[in-house]
Amino acid sequence: METEALADLVVDALDDLKGLDIRRIDVRDRTTVTDIMIIASGTSERHIRSLGDRVIDRAGEQGVKPIGVEGADGSDWMLIDLGDIVVHVMLPEKREFYNLEKLWSLAGRDANRGSGTG
């Protein structure tokens, strides 16, 4: 599956379960680890788990299996490594503290909304 199509699938999966403030950041020119980071917030640890599970299920339906998953055991931050895409789903306070958007964006210029949810 092409990277952009997979990114769209991830954003749609997060949006389906009401993920909050979904952001898609192209990091190809800043790291060799991944091409796109997708960041979203959940309202509780249970919501975070549901969002992450939805991403994993939808990717799996297209034959894409995660390379790794962290925080799936009831955490305030779940990370899903899909190779060309890394997905972070976290509680808003954790997200604000780590501020990944600022870390990975050039002055925030390319951190854009992935959907109309937020």
Higher pLDDT, 7 or 110: 7
pLDDT value of residue 114: 52
| Comparison of pLDDT for 41 and 101, the residue scoring more | 41
- Euclidean distance between CA atoms 70 and 64, whole angstroms: 17
3-state DSSP call for residue 77? Answer: strand
> Are the beta carbons of 7 and 38 closer than 8 angstroms?
yes
Give, in order, the Cα–Cα distances in Å from 73 to each of 21, 50, 77, 92: 23, 11, 10, 18
Tokens in use for 6?
Answer: 């997979």
List, in order of start, the domains of the chain with CATH numbers.
3-99 (3.30.460.10)
What pTM was computed for the model? 0.85
pLDDT in tens, 47-97: 999 999 999 999 999 999 999 999 988 889 999 999 999 999 999 999 998
What is the token pair recorded at 67? 């390379």
